[in-house]
Amino acid sequence: MTSPDPRWLRVPVPGNAGTATEGAGMAQATPYPRMPGGGISRRPLHFIILADCSGGMKGEKIQALNFAIADMLPHLAAWERDQEQAQVFIRAIAFATEPRWHIPDPEPVAQLGWKPLQPVPKGLTNMGPAFALAAQALAPGRIERRALRPAMLLITDGLATDPPGGFEAGLSALMAQPAGKLALRLAIAIGRDAQSAALDRFIGDPGVPVLVADSSEDIADRLVAASLAVSRMSEAGADRGAVARRLLGAPGDLPPNIFDQDTIV
């Protein structure tokens, strides 16, 4: 060919030796040699936050939660910058009596400005429908085949108030999706009273404890620990059992099931 097909001209990526001219002002674009396909990108890591917005969260708790999430996101963004494999996308579900998408479409973590959650007056803590809503987003065809194992973080200050069978139905819907079943599922209980068997069932791994925030001030620390766990566990070759023990306080004599995942069928 005597001239390059415009389809093959890719914007150079800084740091890719020999392909980009860096400097202040306008980048001097150097076309990549021809490469088949539609270009390359990092593997998506979908992180879904399920935030309790029931009536009990009003006041200091919801403020602390909003602060904590806003504080957590830069940690995830920093990890995204520092590692070599994943691009983190955030979605969020606010749940009370009914769930709703607070962030419906996957947002790159580096560009996300957290919009504060609002509690639902007299709203209940129905978790099952929130799981079912997340399950829809993790269905085949809705999540990329090349995506890393997704992560889910459930944050609540109370016990599930689902009507009979509601919690189980939602959890079953989530587990019915391959990506939901394989997801790293973590939970934060705001207050000891919120630590329940239901949260353990959501996590689905006796080797991964519920993180407890004893006070509103603790929420930020627990969220950072959870985000670190998600990011470290998503790294290539990670010993997830060791990560869980170090960051989540998982008991050493009970290896998390997550140790077995991302290897062989």
Partner 1 sequence: MATDSTTDEVATWQVITGSARGAAHRVSGLPNQDAVASQDGSGGIVVAIADGHGHIRHFRSADGAALAVDVACRVASQAAAGLAADATGDEEAERAGQELARAVVADWRAAVADQLEVRPYTVEEQFILDRSADTPVVPYGSTLLVAVIAARWLVCAQIGDGDMLAVRPDGSSFSPVAGDDKLDGRRTTSLCQPDALASFRTGAHDLSQMPLAALLLATDGYGNAQADEPWQPSVGRDLAELAACHDRHWFGQEVPGWVRRCASSEGSGDDATIALLLPGDARDAEEGG
Summarize as ranges the residues that interact with partner 1 (CB under 8 A): 1, 13, 15-16, 32-43, 83-86, 144-149, 178-179, 182, 235-239, 255, 259, 261-265
The distance of closest approach from Cβ of residue 11 to partner 1 in the complex, given in angstroms and rounded to an integer, is 11
The distance of closest approach from Cβ of residue 255 to partner 1 in the complex, given in angstroms and rounded to an integer, is 7
Neighbours of 212 (CB within 10 A): 18
Q: How far apart are CA 55 and CA 43, in angstroms?
A: 38
Q: How far apart are CA 39 and CA 59, in angstroms?
A: 47
Q: Which are the contacts of 142, defined by CB distance < 8 A and separation ≥ 6?
A: 136
Closer of 36 and 164 to partner 1 (Cβ): 36
Closer of 39 and 165 to partner 1 (Cβ): 39
Kindly state the helix (H) or strand (E) to which residue 227 belongs, with its residue range: helix 216-233
Q: How far apart are CA 93 and CA 117, in angstroms?
A: 10
Closer of 63 and 83 to partner 1 (Cβ): 83
The distance of closest approach from Cβ of residue 136 to partner 1 in the complex, given in angstroms and rounded to an integer, is 18
Q: Which two tokens stand for residue 36?
A: 């088949």
Closer of 140 and 164 to partner 1 (Cβ): 140
The distance of closest approach from Cβ of residue 1 to partner 1 in the complex, given in angstroms and rounded to an integer, is 5
Whose CA is closest to 50, among 122, 4, 14, 103? 103
The distance of closest approach from Cβ of residue 262 to partner 1 in the complex, given in angstroms and rounded to an integer, is 6
Closer of 10 and 58 to partner 1 (Cβ): 10
Closer of 28 and 85 to partner 1 (Cβ): 85
Residue type at 148 in one-letter notation? L
Q: Which two tokens stand for residue 131?
A: 């799981």
Q: How far apart are CA 208 and CA 222, in angstroms?
A: 14
Neighbours of 94 (CB within 10 A): 23
Q: Which two tokens stand for residue 81?
A: 């910058």
Closer of 136 and 215 to partner 1 (Cβ): 136
The distance of closest approach from Cβ of residue 39 to partner 1 in the complex, given in angstroms and rounded to an integer, is 5
The distance of closest approach from Cβ of residue 254 to partner 1 in the complex, given in angstroms and rounded to an integer, is 12
Q: Which two tokens stand for residue 253?
A: 């004599």
Q: How far apart are the first and last CA of the chain?
A: 45
Q: How far apart are CA 184 and CA 261, in angstroms?
A: 10
